[in-house]
A and B are shown apart, each in its own frame.
Chain A
Amino acid sequence: MQEKLITKNWDKIKPASIESFINYGGYLQLKNCVYKNKKPNDIVDQIDESGLRGRGGAGFPTGKKWKIAKQNAQKNKKDVYFIVNADESQPGTFKDGRVIEKNPHSIIEGAAVASYALEASKVIIYVNGHHKDYYETLKNCVNLAYERGFLGKNILDKNVDIEMQVVLGSGGYIFGEETTLINSLEGYRGEPRMKPPFPPELGFLKNPTVVNNVETVINIPIILEIGAAKYKKIGCQESNGTKLFSVLGAVKNPGLYEAPLGITIRDLIYDYCGGLEKSKQLDFVQVGWMGNFFTQEKLDYKLSYQKKQGNALVGLGSVLVVDKDTDIRDLVLAWSEFFQRESCGQCTPCREGSYRLLNIAERLKNKQVFEKDLQNIKDLNEVLEKTSFCPFGCFIAQCWKGVLDLKQKELFKNL
């Protein structure tokens, strides 16, 4: 089994104690950067070479994102802002929250190193508004780091400044989307902005801004520690390193697991989670987002960021194992309620579409679907896919497409 990188010391570290974190090698990479006077751009290159991809869903190469932001800052004489996205609220995902519970100081160190490499003027950690406890935890960690001289002006008595602030977010799924997050930080309504320009071009207060997911951030000191070359060897083509997987549903041991990218769905379920619960029969596995389904014959698909035959795109790393006793109608209804509740309402296809699709999901649940419903789902999907303003609308379409591909006959058999 792959050695653990992210979760290595989680059982030993006392989460609230900065000493405990330091005793297990915490802040070593930040000290290395500062004391050895490392060139910020060399660190950016190293992150680029490691092949690290963003863990916030889309898997955008982190080094590349950093470079775009730095180039823009230089060109336009602007400051870079670094934002840690701790807004996690994808249903069935709890990895970032677990990082905050188990090893919160690692986020601060990762963000500090990122700030050093990006020569950022400020780091903002944006915490999901529903989780005040996480906000307090991170605020304490940041205060401790300031007291110890890891943050602030002239950190570690060298000529380096790193400023960091923890902000309690607005609460709501859409705030995890980076431009919505920036809107909320600037005091504007929680709805996505037009892209392009992308945040590394024009972000927080019109400055080039890098938004990275919590898990991306904690990988940064690890890459500096073991070296980009070694990191790149872990995982598979185009998807390097280990990944946190939130596994739920009909497995013996649901929970959070760290496994190398490129692992098959089967190995994750059987080697890590003890296989299916007794007397349960597998129906399908959902990976990453609603509608991304894999049946028994596809269990050997690899969990990866690369879109290709035989791969299962990981997204945020949520894995839901659904057994034959589960009524797909219940799940479809839960997902439809989620979409309707969390749509920001900015654009008509998603605001109206999510509502109409919820109506259909309710009829499906009551086994009272109309002849028209099937065609309506397909029409709405097409409109959502082609015209919605942000990816959220496409998520709705993907969900329903996945459901129809797998279960259309079962759901509409009464017609």
Chain B
Amino acid sequence: MTIQKILLQFEPKRKNLLSALHEVNKQFGYISNQNSYKICDYFSVSPSKLYSFITSSDVLRDQKPPLLEIKVCSGGVCKMKGADKVIKEIENFLKIKADKIYNGKVEFKKISCLGKCLVGPVVIINGTMYEKVNPSMVDDILKNYI
């Protein structure tokens, strides 16, 4: 679907901005600079306001999604169950540090509790959730993606 078609599904009122952005994000994986301007035109919002809206959200992206997106819960309960060791193991495997490097191909983030604490530590890779992860499972899980 083109950006115009997506936008036309929504009345051009600011209260529809969130839902429209989710739709664009879903179709293209992110909200590109080019599309941003079209969105701004359509909803009569300034680019700076749009940018500030998108960047306050955890799920809307203003950058192309990476090939490999890894998120690890670093909430208290997952930590009590050994999430830090899982994070170390992933760092060793990929040779990058969590929350530090972003090269467009791999993104590795620590995230806040998602309420899955009963089955923690939880790791989410490209949208798939892995539960009760321990360090010895990390190699096998990551091999599916590399």
Chain A residues within CB distance 8 Å of chain B: 88-94, 97, 129-131, 167-173, 184-191, 205, 246, 248-249, 254-255, 320, 322, 326, 330-331, 333-335, 337-338, 341-342, 344
Contact of B17 among A129, A187, A331, A334 (CB under 8 A): A187
Instruction: Please state if B15 and A91 are interface contacts (CB–CB under 8 Å).
Output: no
Residues of A within 8 A of B77 (CB): 91-92, 248-249, 320
Residues of B within 8 A of A170 (CB): 18, 56-60
Instruction: Please state if B59 and A92 are interface contacts (CB–CB under 8 Å).
Output: no
Chain B residues within CB distance 8 Å of chain A: 14-19, 22, 43, 45, 49, 52-53, 56-60, 74-77, 79-80, 84, 110-118
Question: Nearest 4 pairs between A and B by C-beta?
Answer: A187-B17, A94-B115, A190-B56, A171-B58
What residue of chain B has the Cβ atom nearest to residue A88's Cβ?
B115
Contact of A187 among B43, B79, B115 (CB under 8 A): B43
5 contacts between A and B (CB under 8 A): A92-B77, A94-B117, A170-B57, A185-B18, A331-B80
Residues of B within 8 A of A249 (CB): 77, 80
Interface SS of chain B: helix
State whether A187 and B18 are in contact (beta carbons under 8 Å apart), knowing that A130-B114, A330-B80, A344-B56 are contacts in the complex: yes
Cα of A138 to Cα of B118 in the assembled complex, Å: 23
State whether A188 and B53 are in contact (beta carbons under 8 Å apart), knowing that A94-B118, A248-B77, A248-B118 are contacts in the complex: yes
Q: How far is the CB of B79 from chain A (nearest CB, A)?
A: 5
Q: How far is the CB of A155 from chain B (nearest CB, A)?
A: 24
Instruction: Please state if B112 and A92 are interface contacts (CB–CB under 8 Å).
Output: no
State whether A129 and B57 are in contact (beta carbons under 8 Å apart), knowing that A92-B75, A97-B115, A341-B112 are contacts in the complex: yes
Cα of A55 to Cα of B104 in the assembled complex, Å: 42
Residues of B within 8 A of A90 (CB): 113
Q: How far is the CB of A186 from chain B (nearest CB, A)?
A: 5
What residue of chain B has the Cβ atom nearest to residue A126's Cβ?
B18
Cα of A342 to Cα of B114 in the assembled complex, Å: 13
Contact of B79 among A169, A184, A331, A341 (CB under 8 A): A331
Q: How far is the CB of B124 from chain A (nearest CB, A)?
A: 10
Instruction: Please state if A342 and B117 are interface contacts (CB–CB under 8 Å).
Output: no
A130-B59, A190-B57 are known contacts; what are 14 more A-B pairs with Cβ within 8 Å? A89-B114, A94-B118, A129-B58, A130-B114, A168-B19, A170-B57, A171-B58, A172-B57, A185-B18, A187-B15, A187-B53, A189-B53, A337-B74, A341-B111
Residues of A within 8 A of B52 (CB): 189
State whether A338 and B18 are in contact (beta carbons under 8 Å apart), knowing that A92-B75, A330-B80, A330-B84 are contacts in the complex: no
Instruction: Please state if B15 and A320 are interface contacts (CB–CB under 8 Å).
Output: no
Residues of B within 8 A of A190 (CB): 53, 56-57
Q: How far is the CB of A351 from chain B (nearest CB, A)?
A: 13
Residues of B within 8 A of A186 (CB): 14-15
Cα of A320 to Cα of B118 in the assembled complex, Å: 12
Q: Which of A94, A171, A334, A341 has the most CB of B within 10 A?
A: A334
Cα of A322 to Cα of B79 in the assembled complex, Å: 12
Instruction: Please state if B76 and A92 are interface contacts (CB–CB under 8 Å).
Output: yes
State whether A172 and B56 are in contact (beta carbons under 8 Å apart), knowing that A92-B113, A94-B116, A330-B84 are contacts in the complex: yes
Instruction: Please state if B117 and A334 are interface contacts (CB–CB under 8 Å).
Output: no
Cα of A172 to Cα of B115 in the assembled complex, Å: 13
Residues of A within 8 A of B16 (CB): 187
Instruction: Please state if B112 and A173 are interface contacts (CB–CB under 8 Å).
Output: yes
Cα of A205 to Cα of B15 in the assembled complex, Å: 9
Q: How far is the CB of B78 from chain A (nearest CB, A)?
A: 8
Contact of A334 among B15, B75, B115, B118 (CB under 8 A): B75
Residues of A within 8 A of B49 (CB): 188-189
Q: How far is the CB of A310 from chain B (nearest CB, A)?
A: 26
Cα of A338 to Cα of B74 in the assembled complex, Å: 8
Cα of A187 to Cα of B74 in the assembled complex, Å: 30
Instruction: Please state if A91 and B57 are interface contacts (CB–CB under 8 Å).
Output: no
Cα of A88 to Cα of B17 in the assembled complex, Å: 22
State whether A338 and B58 are in contact (beta carbons under 8 Å apart), knowing that A320-B76, A326-B80, A330-B79 are contacts in the complex: no
What residue of chain B has the Cβ atom nearest to residue A191's Cβ?
B56
Residues of A within 8 A of B112 (CB): 89, 91, 173, 338, 341-342
Residues of A within 8 A of B114 (CB): 89, 130-131
Cα of A170 to Cα of B52 in the assembled complex, Å: 12
Cα of A3 to Cα of B87 in the assembled complex, Å: 43
Residues of A within 8 A of B111 (CB): 341
Cα of A89 to Cα of B75 in the assembled complex, Å: 11
Q: How far is the CB of A46 from chain B (nearest CB, A)?
A: 32
Residues of B within 8 A of A322 (CB): 80
Cα of A191 to Cα of B58 in the assembled complex, Å: 13
Instruction: Please state if B117 and A92 are interface contacts (CB–CB under 8 Å).
Output: yes
Residues of A within 8 A of B79 (CB): 330-331, 333-334
Residues of B within 8 A of A172 (CB): 56-58
Residues of A within 8 A of B57 (CB): 129, 170-172, 184, 190
Instruction: Please state if A337 and B118 are interface contacts (CB–CB under 8 Å).
Output: no
What residue of chain A has the Cβ atom nearest to residue B51's Cβ?
A189
Q: How far is the CB of A328 from chain B (nearest CB, A)?
A: 10
Cα of A322 to Cα of B80 in the assembled complex, Å: 9
Residues of B within 8 A of A320 (CB): 76-77
